[in-house]
Structure 1
Amino acid sequence: MRYIIIGAGAVGGTIGGRLAQSGREVVLVARGAHLDAIRQDGLHLLSPHGTVTLPVTAAAGPEEIDLRPDDVLVLAVKTQDSQEILSAWAPRPVAGGGTAADVLPLLCAQNAVENERMALRLFRHVYGVCVWLPALHLSPGAVVSHGAPLSGLLTLGRYPGGTDETIERIAADLRGAMFLAPVVPDVMRWKYGKLLTNLGNAPQAICGLAPGAGPLVERLLDEGRAVLAAAGIPFTSPEEEARVRGDQVHEVAVDGLDRPGGSSWQSLAKGSGSIEADYLNGEIILLGRLHGVPVPANETVRRLAAEFAREQRPPGSMSLPDLLKLVEEEAAAR
């Protein structure tokens, strides 16, 4: 199998880098200065195990790659970018006949729960990947993997449910590349559980790693759990995820530096102009409106995160007391 990693940022770069390091054939799809740096100097993968430079093939998009029937597409972009990218890859021809949409497996190694639904409209063989992978990408040509002793927990399964030989083979390759990779028949239950934990991404991006944010995050989670219960959607608990992860993946410092923030924090730090809150807190808002469950705290943090991204405000530029005041004021006004 050849792995084509679409989106070689923190998650995609770590997955692709570890697969390449284990001897698998990998193509990293990136853009801008990150693409140029990988092409010129390879991918620099920093981790608690040391730094390696990997001479990985890099491409700007599907037009630069001759697809083969043994290719695996791994989508690792933010959800707000998925539709455009899926539409670009789906019609590409595959050697031997057919298109990528008809022939190739597509793995959604992303936060949120909307990507698989988007993909299944276009691709025949869609797989979910629940990602627990602490990593960082802020500088061109480099990603930092903070997971140890393994780089991450990647829970895999067919979408909407089940398992098959293809995902078992992919999981075996991932296990050989420093990942914990269980295959489950209910991968979306895992992804909804991860969705709940990601509800805290927006306030972290807005306020930074502010002490005292716990009660707000718990309020976001309470709203999320209430919505999923009303919708009849099952989800894993943090305790179940922790039991599977065990002592095999911990977030640790690299070169004495802790990871400064999660994926939403990194989007603001890079000034990307977009943020995934619409598909994290926004998913809870959508379900709340569909099922008549009020979710005022999620509404406020989603709106603010979107404003921060649109205005390219730096992460952590609002104080926690100011955010809490807004949450209370807007909840009272609804």
Structure 2
Amino acid sequence: MRIAVMGAGGVGACLGARLIQVGADVTLVARGEHLKAMQRNGLRLIQADGYLKVPVKATDDPCEVGPVDLVLLAVKIYHIPEAAHSMDPMIGPKTHIVTLQNGVDSADGLAELFGPDRVLPGTSYTIASIASPGVIKQQSKTARIIFGRADGQITLEAEAVQDCLTPAIDAELTGDIASVLWSKFLLTAPGNAINATSRVPITRLIQTDEGRDLLVRAMKEVAEVGLANGVNIDPEAIPKGIKFMESLPQDQRMSMLDDIEAGRPLELNAQAGAVVRIGRRVGVPTPINDALYALLMPHKDGAPPQA
């Protein structure tokens, strides 16, 4: 398969590097100094047990890539409309798109644009960031994604995508992607919002009884919204989420904290905002997520104007 990684930042470049390492035909679509560094020096991936350096094909122009068999879409949620338009030259008659955003509805617009048979909603459990242009630091022990068709079917085409990825990535094909997305969402949506509001690493916050209780209550609201929306929520999802948080390094930050401190736009509408929006639609009160959403709204589009 020919593969394009659209949005080769931290997670996208990490996945791309691992695929290139095993010989996959991969093109990275990126921009800015990170792109220039990769074009000049290749891509370096720093891992807990060492590092690897791979030569890359990298561009900021999807027209240079041409039609591919698979697009791994790793852009921020608010960049999806722009990405969907610009990646059109990479979409051939049999191209599949795996989405890797946080959130529960990022694939919906793509399915309307390219067709539901082409789009495989997914999520990444890979923690990675740009350490410097052309250099990615992978904090998670593994590179893992889960994806599947929105209708739950396990098709030969979806299995072929999994077979293509598994030599390099822990790629799981599921028949209930909605449950997977919501189980992660009930941790990441309130976790990101609380982390960005408190401005301290999430692992330090949950060491206090008050911080842990706040996160658990916010997660319960998300679970209740998901259940009312007809999603199968793992009854153990909340304790599992807390246990996962406890396993992280003591200075672990969630991405929204990095974004707010850097003055970048936030994925607020697709996270806490989605909890509030879907909660209202299904008639489930979400007072904690409402408050977090309101507190972060001035930062939604980046650094607020200085008084």
Deviation larger for 275-284 or 59-68 = 59-68
Change (3 A) 1:126 1:259: farther
Aligned length: 291
Alignment-derived partner of residue 131 in structure 1: 124
Alignment-derived partner of residue 147 in structure 1: 140
Deviation at 1:111, TM superposition (A): 1.0
- Distance (Å, rounded) in 2 between the aligned partners of 1:8 and 1:170: 19
Q: Is the 8 A contact 1:288 1:295 kept in 2?
A: yes
Alignment-derived partner of residue 173 in structure 1: 164
Question: For structure 2, which runs of at least 5 residues remain unmatched after alignment?
Answer: 241-245
Alignment-derived partner of residue 14 in structure 1: 14
Change (3 A) 1:132 1:41: same
Secondary structure at the residue paired with 2:8? coil
RMSD: 2.6
Q: Is the 8 A contact 2:192 2:254 kept in 1?
A: yes
Within the alignment, does 1:267 sit opposite 2:259 as a pair? yes
Deviation larger for 280-289 or 168-177 = 168-177
TM-score (norm 1): 0.79
Deviation at 1:4, TM superposition (A): 0.4
- Distance (Å, rounded) in 2 between the aligned partners of 1:133 and 1:251: 15
Within the alignment, does 1:80 sit opposite 2:78 as a pair? yes
Within the alignment, does 1:159 sit opposite 2:177 as a pair? no
Which of the residues 158, 176, 183 maps onto 1:193? Answer: 183
Alignment-derived partner of residue 271 in structure 2: 280
- Distance (Å, rounded) in 1 between the aligned partners of 2:239 and 2:8: 25
- Distance (Å, rounded) in 2 between the aligned partners of 1:294 and 1:175: 41
Which of the residues 102, 118, 121 maps onto 1:111? Answer: 102
Change (3 A) 1:164 1:31: same
- Distance (Å, rounded) in 1 between the aligned partners of 2:130 and 2:236: 26
Alignment-derived partner of residue 221 in structure 2: 223
Change (3 A) 1:271 1:146: same
Q: Which amino acid aligns with 1:192?
A: W
Deviation at 1:238, TM superposition (A): 5.2
Deviation at 1:63, TM superposition (A): 2.6
Secondary structure at the residue paired with 2:72? strand
Alignment-derived partner of residue 308 in structure 1: 299
Secondary structure at the residue paired with 1:221? helix
Alignment-derived partner of residue 317 in structure 1: none
Within the alignment, does 1:122 sit opposite 2:113 as a pair? yes
Deviation at 1:260, TM superposition (A): 3.8
Q: Which amino acid aligns with 2:254?
A: G
Deviation at 1:187, TM superposition (A): 1.3
- Distance (Å, rounded) in 2 between the aligned partners of 1:251 and 1:147: 11
Change (3 A) 1:63 1:186: same
Q: Which runs of 4+ in 1 moved over 6 A?
A: 250-253
Change (3 A) 1:184 1:240: farther
CA deviations 1:181-210 (Å, max 9, x no partner) are: 221111121011111111211211232214
- Distance (Å, rounded) in 2 between the aligned partners of 1:85 and 1:58: 16
- Distance (Å, rounded) in 2 between the aligned partners of 1:143 and 1:259: 18
Q: Which amino acid aligns with 2:73?
A: L
Q: Identical aligned pairs, as a percentage? A: 27
Within the alignment, does 1:67 sit opposite 2:67 as a pair? yes
Q: Is the 8 A contact 1:80 1:276 kept in 2?
A: yes
